[in-house]
A and B are shown apart, each in its own frame.
Chain A
């Protein structure tokens, strides 16, 4: 409306700069007549009156604009049933932060029961997966038709869209999206993911190439060898070559692994102990061992060693040993690892060999070997070690290591300290066997020690992380643990309020987890 526009511009500059007159009354125009009747002295009063009339008039005449776009296509039908009403409560509680560590288990339960999340919860569940990528594999299967439809509407939810769309995401997305798409594809179709990566390899930036290679860690096998070998030999980026070497070492029988094992085998000589002599592990370097040979795969390995302190030869020795699975030596020398570790101490290259063994044990996730060389490591290294284990080892391998570390009487208590560190690195649900072993361990310990010793640092050190792992305890062992161990612990821990709370939390989490399951079972009955 022209008059309204005129009034707005007058109001902006002010009536002291711009005069305002009312329009003359017009025949048959009720508004104009009403405005015309607003006799008033002074520009500002006239403007205020006109604003009162015309503003209300325009407001009551607001119309909805026609949509230039087409009506949206309805989302597809949901084929699977939603979760029971009681489970909706549980889900709402967890999304609000109550026992939120149990979310993953809840998602697994929904999937096991063939259900999907109800629509009102989908945005929150997708947000949860966006911020916690470890939850994604558990969210995707329970999104249902509606959830997948919804995920396609927002870029930050695109990790949840169907696999057939991942190729497109890979081709058109930003870096993070492409990484997520490649990872999703690698989980479902490892060869397709590799081929996709190889096809556009030369066009990727050096930084991206190394990051994308990391994705191949999932479902790695011999079929990846050729591509990785090509990257190792020809890629211009040291980061990409290093990533390729690391992966190739994990493929049994890969030419690189064989070559390095052969080179290492020629280096170490084992002399079994006799009547008067101790066993010895000697190092015989060939003349050109620390040459700067072109294309030396070990040049691309980065183990953060101090070359100035160790010397060039020793650094290459550590790298070479790290590339050989430690069990290789037991087979080759026909001696158990404890003996070999002892023998390694009797050589001029003691530090390098032990460091190499430790790096190899870490690299190949060999729990027994790591436990064997652990006493030779400084306690200061524990934190770094546990970081690396958390990053590179599979859950069952960490469980295995903890079991070994807790087995039998501790010599120094140090390996127990390391076990405690590792407890906190476990992110997946514990296996039945592991849960049972740990609860037996706690029960045994609480029986044999009197109270004074019982609250000793090392025992509590283990009891606490176990109590804080209520959300990870194997379902099958849960009730048993609560009955046997918790009851026994409770009597003691009462005297230490902080620990009593942990025990209470454990019981609360256990009860909540039982309720999650009961909600699905009870529904069947109703």
Chain B
């Protein structure tokens, strides 16, 4: 087998819970008329409600799915069921039947056509017209942003003049109105930062004085967005890109023609999927084996649409990643991907000092950096009082933050034996995403 998939990894590909359930129902050899796999693909024919069995093919490299069933879910339950069987080593090696071989051939052809299309040229007149329109759009937006941020600056001034104690007694609209005005001013990320402030204010919890400090720190960072925008022209190009990201400018992948591209074998350390404003967000954390670079690939999807399923925690994949510009380029997109393989030696931090050292260096380059990948080679979860911490080999602690089920799962898998654990570090807490048990990755 070219790559060993665990059922956890397969489940991670599912578009939703009901697909997982249905897929598991089909992960039984009895449900399949025929099935098999080779180096490149897995195939099978599944008895369905129709006369003919559904023909399912999975290309393993990405993985990509194809099924003859009418389901709009992707991958569908048949694909998941077959993949689960494959992961459980329930299939026999063989040679691909026609329906699978044809699909694979078509896929290769499509890839080529895509590349050709990208190379096609347009006329100079069209280009000039487009460019003019684009410049106008850019100028319009920048004017809006400048006005919005100027207003925000005044609001922040009012906030600290009247005091945080006063702000705590403000109704939610006080914050929400400001956030909405920033949305209108096409500064969605600044709006998000304002919303974060309000969620901190109403979090009447254990932090007490620390909460006020945290609030002040974020107010400072938000203020820095305003001030940086005012002096954008004076800043180096890479920092300008960070400021724009902090405001909420997005760059489309195809606009990144000049992006820094790194081809490497990337270790997939952790994947987190969560919902934000009706969008499903998938964060994939990668670490380059030769380059030593760390990368964050983001995918977005509306509720039931599929997310990119090409990455699986605990595997490695040779790929070319293009990085979004910035002074500390972390976010990237996948330009091209090649074969996947199993992971053996993890690229990891030895202890928290090493992690925090790199984190500080990254912050020095981009103060708006929100999350940082924390792959620790040997660590163990511990409870001190009611709180959970991760303990490194030097006996230091950093707080863990996750739902109870994930924390207990982590505890059960570790058994108080130090093991490799990947988390997202947000400057305050670690959110564990993957734990390795006897070399086997387990998603939390």
Q: Which residues of A contact B (CB under 8 A)?
A: 4, 7-8, 10-17, 42-45, 47-56, 58-69, 71-75, 84-86, 88-90, 92-93, 96-98, 119-120, 122-124, 146-147, 149-150, 153-154, 511-512, 514-515, 518-519, 522, 526
Q: Is B184 an interface residue (CB 8 A)?
A: no
Encode B212-256 as 1/0 by CB contact (under 8 A) with A.
110111111101100100000000000000000000000000000
Q: Is B74 an interface residue (CB 8 A)?
A: no
Q: Is the CB of B217 within 8 A of A64?
A: no
The interface residues of chain A lying within 8 Å CB-to-CB of B21 are: 93, 96-98
Contact of A60 among B223, B363, B412 (CB under 8 A): B363
Q: Is the interface of A mostly helix, strand, loop or mixed?
A: helix
The interface residues of chain B lying within 8 Å CB-to-CB of A12 are: 163-165, 212
Q: Is the CB of A11 within 8 A of B25?
A: no
The interface residues of chain B lying within 8 Å CB-to-CB of A44 are: 157-158, 160-161
The interface residues of chain A lying within 8 Å CB-to-CB of B417 are: 74-75
Known: A48-B157, A55-B217, A60-B359. 15 other contacts (CB 8 A): A8-B213, A11-B212, A12-B164, A49-B223, A52-B221, A59-B427, A61-B360, A93-B21, A96-B20, A96-B21, A119-B412, A120-B437, A120-B442, A124-B405, A512-B28
Using known A-B contacts A65-B397, A89-B24, A96-B20, determine if residue A51 contacts B389 with beta carbons closer than 8 Å.
no
Q: Is B178 an interface residue (CB 8 A)?
A: no
6 contacts between A and B (CB under 8 A): A62-B428, A66-B395, A73-B416, A90-B24, A120-B412, A147-B412
Q: Is the CB of A515 within 8 A of B28?
A: yes
Give the distance in Å from the alpha carbon of A67 to the alpha carbon of B396 in the complex.
Answer: 5
Q: Is the CB of A92 within 8 A of B359?
A: no
Q: Is B27 an interface residue (CB 8 A)?
A: yes
Q: Is B16 an interface residue (CB 8 A)?
A: no
Using known A-B contacts A51-B223, A92-B11, A98-B21, determine if residue A67 contacts B391 with beta carbons closer than 8 Å.
yes
The interface residues of chain A lying within 8 Å CB-to-CB of B165 are: 12-14
Q: Is B174 an interface residue (CB 8 A)?
A: no
Contact of B409 among A58, A123, A511, A515 (CB under 8 A): A123
Q: Is the CB of B160 within 8 A of A48?
A: yes
Q: Is the interface of B mostly helix, strand, loop or mixed?
A: helix
Contact of B395 among A71, A93, A96 (CB under 8 A): A71
Give the distance in Å from the alpha carbon of A150 to the alpha carbon of B412 in the complex.
Answer: 6
Encode B84-95 as 1/0 by CB contact (under 8 A) with A.
110111100000
Q: Is the CB of B415 within 8 A of A85?
A: no
- Residue of B with least CB distance to A53: B220
Chain A-chain B contacts (Cβ-Cβ < 8 Å), number: 196
Give the distance in Å from the alpha carbon of A51 to the alpha carbon of B159 in the complex.
Answer: 13
Give the bracket for the number of chain B residues in contact with chain A. 35 or more
Interface residues of B in 229-285 (CB under 8 A from A): none
Q: Is the CB of A69 within 8 A of B382?
A: yes
The interface residues of chain A lying within 8 Å CB-to-CB of B221 are: 52, 55-56
Q: Is the CB of A67 within 8 A of B84?
A: no
The interface residues of chain B lying within 8 Å CB-to-CB of A526 are: 89
Give the distance in Å from the alpha carbon of A67 to the alpha carbon of B381 in the complex.
Answer: 12
Contact of B411 among A7, A150, A518 (CB under 8 A): A150
